Amino acid sequence: MRYEPGVTACVATALCLGAISCAAPDSEPGDTGEAAAPAVAEPQQIPTFAVDASWPTLPNDWVLGQVASVTVDGRDHVWVLHRPRTVEEGEEANAAPPVLEFDIDGAFINAWGGPTADFDWPGNEHGIHADHQGHIWVGGNGGDPESDDMLLKLTNTGELLLQIGGRGVSGGNTDTDNLRRPAESFVYGQTNEVFVADGYGNRRVIVLDADTGAFKRMWGAFGNEPMDAPPDTSADDEQGPPQFATVHGIEVADDGMVYVADRNNSRLQVFAIDGTYSTQGFVNRDADSASTVAGVAFSPDPQQQFLYIADQGNSLVHIVDRQTLEVLDSFGSTGEEPGAFQALHHIASDSQGNIYTAEAQRGRRAQKFRFTGMVPRD
């Protein structure tokens, strides 16, 4: 099924008005003595989804532990990163390797990863990203006994291409050689730079050359200088704290705008490619849980009109207008049944408009939500 982007209300209105103005070019409203009826804006179209309860298929009686992250490559293969050490008690022998590859229908393709003497595998797997060249990036947020202060770039069969940083060596937010428990990464192909949500130990976005790992630039919330000191949560005004709390997710749109999931501040901040602050939007800011912006993905239409936000604390996926950052609709609930979530941790989308989610903690699963079409917004 191909994803067909909906027409926004403003575009639909413009098209309607154009048709009216061209329908009778020689007539004027005053010719009949009646005023022309005002054009009625068409309701905005939004995408809808249905859970695919049969996705994916695990071979070899394998089981999953906490599923930390999910990503989709250029072939619409779906990559799942889980934590084998967290499988249910008694299932340790059946734990799947940490990195699993599936096709769009959920058929198993390959699996690999785990501790090795060749390089520093994360102590606690956290983020996975498939870049535009098919390389796989893996990071972790382990902190005991030594923190995961590195990011790995690997082939799609698990061979190491580049390790940025090392285990337990971070010098904090001013260290440009090492990370500090990075949550997620994203490679922007147009500049060949990897953008890192360096957010469990540090409070920054750091940008590095995707081939060499060389430092390019970094920034904190609002483009401020990132600080090692705890964020000032007392500044509970309309803008929120001047520093990130937990930089948990990061994606770069095709137009170069950078979207940063500041999870524990319940906000999404947007920056230009050079780190210049643009705008922000809060999601479920007044909810009982502050962990409302855990991850972000884009709709696959040319304008990437919609954002999909994983609300970890409230077990919801929010459909957001990318231009206004307005929440248009939401789906999900807390539970174990298909379509519900427990610890919704990350989110991804494919070229057909489908959404994939990762559940950590008690969830221990990845789910697929099939794109089912566009409907008028209520």
Residue 372 has pLDDT above 90, yes or no: yes
- pLDDT in the model for residue 40: 72
Give the pLDDT band (50/70/90) at residue 36: low
Residue 92 has pLDDT above 90, yes or no: yes
Give the pLDDT band (50/70/90) at residue 34: low
Residue 154 has pLDDT above 90, yes or no: yes
- pLDDT in the model for residue 234: 60
Tens-digit pLDDT profile for residues 195-213: 999 999 999 999 999 999 9
Tens-digit pLDDT profile for residues 238-269: 899 999 999 999 999 999 999 999 999 999 99
Residue 226 has pLDDT above 60, yes or no: yes
CA distance 317 to 309: 6
- pLDDT in the model for residue 145: 83
Q: How far is the first Cα of the chain from the last one, in angstroms, to the nearest whole number?
A: 24
Q: Which of 144-148, 162-166, 213-217, 244-248 has the lowest mean pLDDT?
A: 144-148
Going by their DSSP bridges, the two strands 160-167 and 295-298 should be labelled as unpaired
Highest mean pLDDT among 20-24, 284-288, 336-340: 336-340
Mean pLDDT score of the chain, rounded to an integer? 90
Output the 3-class SS for 38-56: CCCCCCCEEEEEEEECCCC
Share of the chain above pLDDT 90, in %: 83
CA distance 149 to 173: 12
Q: Which of 190, 307, 204, 303 is nearest to 246 (CA)?
A: 204
Q: In terms of pLDDT, which residue wins out, 303 or 233?
A: 303
- Confidence (pTM): 0.89
Q: Which of 29-43, 81-95, 125-139, 313-327 has the lowest mean pLDDT?
A: 29-43
* 178-204 mean pLDDT: 97
Q: Which domains are present in the chain?
A: 1-42 (no CATH), 48-376 (2.120.10.30)
CA angle 120, 123, 126 (to 5 degrees): 105
Tens-digit pLDDT profile for residues 312-352: 999 999 999 999 999 999 999 999 999 999 999 999 999 99
Find all residues with CB under 8 Å of 81, minimum gap 6, and list them: 67, 68, 69, 70, 98, 99, 125, 126, 127, 128, 138, 358
